[in-house]
Every structure is written in C-alpha cells, then in structure tokens.
Amino acid sequence: MKPAAFDYIVADSLEAAVAALAGAGGEAKIIAGGQSLVPMLNFRLLKPSVLVDINRIPGLAFIKESEKTIEVGALTRHHQIETSPVIAKHLPVLGCAMTHVAHLAIRNRGTIGGSLSHADPAAELPMLALLLDASLEIASASGRRTVAARDFFLAALTVDLNDGDIVTGITFPKLPAKTGWGFEEVARRSGDFALAAVAATLTLSGGAIAQARIAMTGVGPTPRRAGDAEALLTGKPLGPDLIEAVIKLVRAGVEPESDLHASADYRRHLAGALAGRAVAAAWRRAQGKTA
C-alpha cells in the first residue's frame, strides 16, 4: 500500500521543527529514521497531514561523554551506538543490545529518539533506557523538559509526549565501578523483534551485590523492571539458589499476552530463564571474568 497524501516539511533547525509541529495543530508527525513510521504510513495506520523531517537539524546526532554521564543525541543512529568506543567502554550492555536491533540496513537509519518515541513493546532501547535509569530531553513550543525513562513509557506505543514535542537527547548515567552486565534475548530469527529479552547490571561491594538492576522487554505493553528480584539480590552474593529464586520471582511478576509469535506461558518461561542467565553473566563480569 501507499501512504495517504501529506505535506512534507524539512526542518533545518530545532526552532523550525517545533514551529512546524505547533502550526499543524496535532496533525503532524515527526520523521527521523522512518523505519517504524513509514510502514505505519504505508499500512495507513497513521494518516498525518504533515510530516516534519528532522534529519537535517544540526547537532542532534552525537555521543558525548562527561564526568558522570553519556549523552546521546536523538538523531544518533543505532549503528553509531553499536560501534561507539565510548558506549563500549562505559555502557557495554547498551552496545551489546544494539546488535539485536533489526538488521544492519535498519540500524543505519533508525535513531534512538525514534525508537524510544515509538516504544514498541518488544524493542530493546526502551528496556535499556529503563535499566540504566536514563532521562529524556524534550523540546516543544512551550519550552524544554526532562522526563525519567521510568515515567516515559505509558502503554504499548504510547509515551509521555504531547503533539509538538520533540525528543532531543537521552542522558545515561555511567555504570558505577565494580559493575557487571548481562543481556539475553530470544527471537525467532536474527534481527526479529524479541519474543522476550532481559538486561541486568550488578554492582558489587565487599563480595555482595550492592545494587541490582533487571529490565525486561516483550513481556508486557511496556518495558519493566523486576523490582522484587532486584530487592532479593541486594546485599547477597550470587549463587545457584539465589538465581533459582530470581527466576521464580521474575516469572511470578510478569503478565505477558499471547499473540501470533508466542504464548503468554512461553514468554513468562523465557523471562525467568533469560533473567537467570543475565544475572549470572553480570555477576561473572562484575568479578572481572568473561561472561
């Protein structure tokens, strides 16, 4: 199918993009990489009267390191994140996750701002933003605001963005010292969306887990943290019994839905198994071993 007719505005500055969105009275859509939007236009699931192309806005594609954070511009392509030495050094779990996003051709166009704004229930980047306690910078005609990732994902394909809002960047706190990570995903084929995926970080202190973070995707309408399992891990060294307890808690805490790709029971089973593996890998890496 072909999309319904629309006007096309190429914005050459953030101000121009914000003005174009504000002028369209809620009838406009931003286009970034187009890898999720264009299929939706072609299937006529969306019929905006105006597309505002933000690709030529300077200064929105960058990876910037500061003392405690890594800031990533909204127009940064998935492949830039995947191959960035800064990401590999400070947020290796993010770099690893990117290799699971779609295929190289799609990763060359798709952007972090687009993926977070689109918020597919099985996407990797929303899960990573939640895992790493990231925050999103958002600009609109009425000013700028910052939203924590934990407050951003509201429902499937629904985020805390109003008509006229543009995500301009994402800020990730660097991982603390003595932190290991794990990332585990099951998809039907390489490049497909996850049936389920889990990412974890463990920060050690004195041989025990000082901070545990576990995030999941594909097991509900939005990415979610496994808060009960995180609390259980905190203050203890990891061993086989604790991993088993994490698996049980994760399975008890998710409510996936059945669809064409997998049953709810299978997704629940996967969530537990992947959480166990991700936590075990994070524990090994935190001790300087290979996963």
Ligand X SMILES: Cc1cc2nc3c(=O)[nH]c(=O)nc-3n(C[C@H](O)[C@H](O)[C@H](O)COP(=O)(O)OP(=O)(O)OC[C@H]3O[C@@H](n4cnc5c(N)ncnc54)[C@H](O)[C@@H]3O)c2cc1C
By CB under 6 A, which span of 116-124, 202-210, 224-232, 236-244 interacts with ligand X? 116-124
Q: Give whole-number Cα distances, 63 to 104, 123, 285, in Å.
A: 19, 21, 25
196 contributes a contact to ligand X by CB under 6 A: no
Question: Among residue numbers 121 through 150, which ones bind ligand X (CB under 6 A)?
Answer: 123-125
Residue 117 engages ligand X in binding (rule: CB under 6 A)? yes
Check: CB of residue 220 under 8 Å from CB of residue 255. yes
Selected binder of ligand X within 113, 223, 253, 276 (CB under 6 A):
113
Using the rule CB under 6 A, is 101 a contact of ligand X?
Answer: yes
Closer CB to ligand X, residue 223 or residue 276? 223
* Phi, psi angles (nearest 5°) of residue 34: 75, 5
Count of beta carbons in the 10 Å neighbourhood of residue 221? 16
Q: Which of 17, 20, 21, 30 binds ligand X (CB under 6 A)?
A: 30
- CB under 6 A: which stretch of 9-17, 106-114, 195-203, 266-274 binds ligand X? 106-114
CB burial class (10 A; 0-12, 13-18, 19+) of residue 191?
middle
Q: Does 41 bind ligand X (CB under 6 A)?
A: no
Q: Min. distance of Cβ 235 from ligand X in angstroms?
A: 34
**What is the DSSP track for 163-209?**
TT-EEEEEEEEPPPTTEEEEEEEE-SSTTSPPSEEEEEEEEEETTEE
By CB under 6 A, is residue 79 in contact with ligand X? no
Q: Which of 14, 61, 106, 291 binds ligand X (CB under 6 A)?
A: 106
Q: Is 32 in the site for ligand X (CB under 6 A)?
A: yes
| Distance, CA of 184 to CA of 205 (rounded, Å) | 24
CA distance 218 to 97: 14
Binding residues for ligand X (CB under 6 A): 29-37, 74, 101-102, 106, 109-111, 113-115, 117-118, 120, 123-125, 161, 166-167, 193
